[in-house]
Homo-oligomer: A and B are copies of this chain.
Amino acid sequence: MKMQTLAIVAAGLMATTVQAEPIQIIEPAVITEPEKVELGKKLFFEPRLSKSGFLSCNSCHNLSLGGVDALPTSIGHNWQEGPINSPTVLNAKYMLAQFWDGRAADLKEQAAGPIENPKEMALPHDVALEVLRTIPAYQDEFAAVFGDQGITMDTVTDAIAAFEETLVTPNSRFDQYLAGDKNAITEVELEGYELFKANACSACHNGPAVGGTSFQKMGLVKEYITDNPELGRYNVTGKESDKNVFKVPTLRNIELTYPYFHDGSVWDLTEAVKVMQEVQLGLPLSDEEAEKIAIFLKTLTGDQPQITLPILPPSNPNTPRPAPFK
């Protein structure tokens, strides 16, 4: 009986190996609450959610730049140097948790953090809420979307998350390939994909976002040398074994989201593949093979969200004023 069960499982695994792809197609966003999404978009671009009145979510998750700032680590209030590379907001809904260390369970929980983080937007939540509550257009929009729940951090982050849920990048050439169009990628790109699988990159970089499905140690087979002191998952769990463990980043739009890794130390994609091979896998990989994997990875660039820039309602005389230089 036990042998029989094992045989069935083994057969199932073999079938999986033969047929299933480690990467799944992502679908275009289906917007069921357009007013909430529109409000969330305004808040995403709202610099008055920062102490300076100058920084918004879009400052570090720039939707013109693949949802990142394309800097090693971010610039925060008063030009403070951030501790870690800004992860892309694109396809972030597919992540098992948010932030590199996964300390936020979901997009909604994530959105509250940077607003009040003194190294990021540096605005206490109570002031952020007062800003929004003193602006009649926001009062009206929150009432329309959230009824008598009003303007709270709960509704603010709910709206931002609803907008971020729409930030997916379907229709990459690789998705077209997965959907059956075998001509959507070139022979070299396909070779790169085969190498990606054969070298176990897909052991961690899998699922619809080609990542974001697990936490893994950075430096699995060889220590990863970095000046960046961040300890990753250890911050959340306090477990020794979680030191240098980070959420596996998405590889979708990786062509746009340089520089790479949590420390933003590598700018070139082929070099990033080689570093991964060295510290995570330890498998032999020639320069040519690394190059082919990088070429494949560029097929993961999807349709970027088409965003009409929101027009933000003006402050009132009683709206708390920005304090950029205090």
**Residues of A near any B CB (own CB < 8 A):** 45, 47-48, 52-54, 59, 62-66, 69-71, 75, 78-79, 81, 255-256, 258, 267-268, 304, 306-312, 314-315, 317, 321-322, 324-325
Contact = CB atoms under 8 A, between A and B. Distances in A.
Contacts of A321: 267
B71 A53 contact: yes
A309 to B, nearest CB: 4
B255 A314 contact: yes
- 4 tightest A-B CB contacts, nearest first: A79-B79, A307-B309, A304-B311, A268-B317
Contacts of A59: 54
Contacts of A312: 64-65
A309 B63 contact: yes
B70 A45 contact: no
A255 B311 CA distance: 13
Contact of A52 (B75, B255, B315, B324): B75
A195 to B, nearest CB: 21
Contact of A62 (B47, B258, B307): B47
Contacts of A65: 47, 312
Given A75-B324, A308-B309, 7 more contacts: A47-B62, A47-B65, A54-B69, A64-B310, A79-B324, A267-B317, A267-B321
A66 B312 CA distance: 8
A64 B268 CA distance: 34
A245 B127 CA distance: 38
A19 B201 CA distance: 76
A325 B69 contact: no
